[in-house]
Amino acid sequence: MALAGQGKTKGIVAHLAIDTTCNQSMAAIIPDRRVVARYLYWWLAAHYTMIRNLAGGEQRDGLNLEIIGSIPCPLFPTDEQRAIADFLDAETAKLDTLIAKKRELIEKLREKRAALISRTVTRGLPPKAARAAGLNPNPKLKPAGIECLGEVPEHWVVKKIRYLALLRSGENIISEELEDDGEFPVFGGNGIRGYSSSFTHQGHYILIGRQGALCGNVNYAMGRFWASEHAIVVSPLTDFATVWLGELLRSMNLNQYSISAAQPGLSVEMINGLKISVPPLPEQRAIADYLEHETTKIDRMVAKVEKAIERLQEYRTALITAAVTGKIDVRKLAA
C-alpha cells in the first residue's frame, strides 16, 4: 500500500497487490499482522479529506512519515477487518460498473449530438423538420467541391469564410485586471475567464479559441462582454444565423488547422480561407432553431445522467465511511 506524500496528489491512497517500488513522493505502508491491508486501504480512502488537511491542503509541501505514522485508525478484529474489505471490494465494484456504464451512455449521447450537428449543418434539415419549416424535404444534391463535405443541397452556395465574417483577435487583458465577479464577462479561448468593469463587444457573437491545446473551440457570447486576445471574434460582414455558423465551425474541428509549436495556435488567415457551404438565410435560421431544440433535449439527458453519477459517487463514499467506521455491520449483510 502507498500514500502520496508530495505534490498535488498528496493524500491519494493506492492499494498495490504486486511487487513494486515507491519513489520519494510516495510513502509505503506495510501493515503488521494485526491489520488486513485491504481494510486499511479502505479506511484511509474514506478519510482522504482528513489526511489532506493533515498535509496542509495546498499550503504545505506534503505529508512526512511522522504525520503519516500519527494517523489514528481503529482496529477491529482481523476477521471483521477482512469482512469489511470483502464487502467494500464487492459493493464498490458493482457501483463502479454502474458508473462506468452511465459514463458510456454520456459518451454515446455526446457522439449522437455531434453527429446530429454535423449532418444538419452540411446536409440540411431532416425531411420532417424541413416540411415543418416550409422547406423542401428532399432537395437535390450536388458535389460541394470540398472533400470533407461530399454532396450538399444544390441551392447552397460554396463560399470562403472571409466573405461571411471578419475574424479578429480580441483585446489584451492581464490577469490582475480580471475580477471574480463583475458587470461584464471576459471570454478567453475556452469560455469565461473572469469579469471586467468594461467591455469590447456588444451583441451575439461566435468566439473561437486561438491558442493552446484547446484552440479551435467554439463558444458564444451575448450582450456586453470583453473578448481577450486568446479568442477570435467572428463579426458578421453579411447576415447569417449565428448558431448555424457557430455549429458549422464546431463541426469542422478547427483544431486540426493549428500550427504545431510549443504553444499551438490558429492562424486567422487560415480560417478565413476555409470554404463552407452556405444555405439561404431563412434555412440557416431554421437549422439554428432545430439544432437548439434538439441539442437542448440531449443536453438535458446528459445532465440527468451526470446527476445520477454524482448520487452514485456520493453513495459510494458514504458506504465506505459507514463500513470502515462500524456504522453498518457488514457481517450481518454478508449473512
**Cα 122 to Cα 117: distance, rounded to the nearest angstrom:** 8
Q: For position 327, what pLDDT does the model report?
A: 87
CB 278 within 8 A of CB 159: yes
CB 117 within 8 A of CB 247: yes
List of E strands, 213-318: 218-227, 231-236, 275-278
Q: For position 11, what pLDDT does the model report?
A: 46
* 335 residues of the chain, pLDDT tens digit each: 545 444 454 445 555 555 666 666 777 777 778 888 898 889 888 888 787 777 665 555 577 777 777 777 888 888 998 999 999 999 999 999 999 999 999 999 999 999 999 999 999 999 999 999 999 999 999 887 777 777 889 999 999 999 999 999 999 988 888 888 888 999 988 889 999 989 999 999 999 998 877 788 999 999 999 999 989 999 999 999 999 999 999 998 888 888 766 667 788 888 999 999 999 999 999 999 999 999 999 999 999 999 999 999 999 999 999 999 888 888 766 55
Q: pTM here? A: 0.80
Q: For position 53, what pLDDT does the model report?
A: 76
| Domains detected in the chain | 1-75 (no CATH), 76-156+279-335 (1.10.287.1120), 160-278 (3.90.220.20)
DSSP class per residue in 193-243 = EEEESS-SEEEEEEEEE-BSTTTT-EEEEEEEEEEBTTEEEEEESS---HH
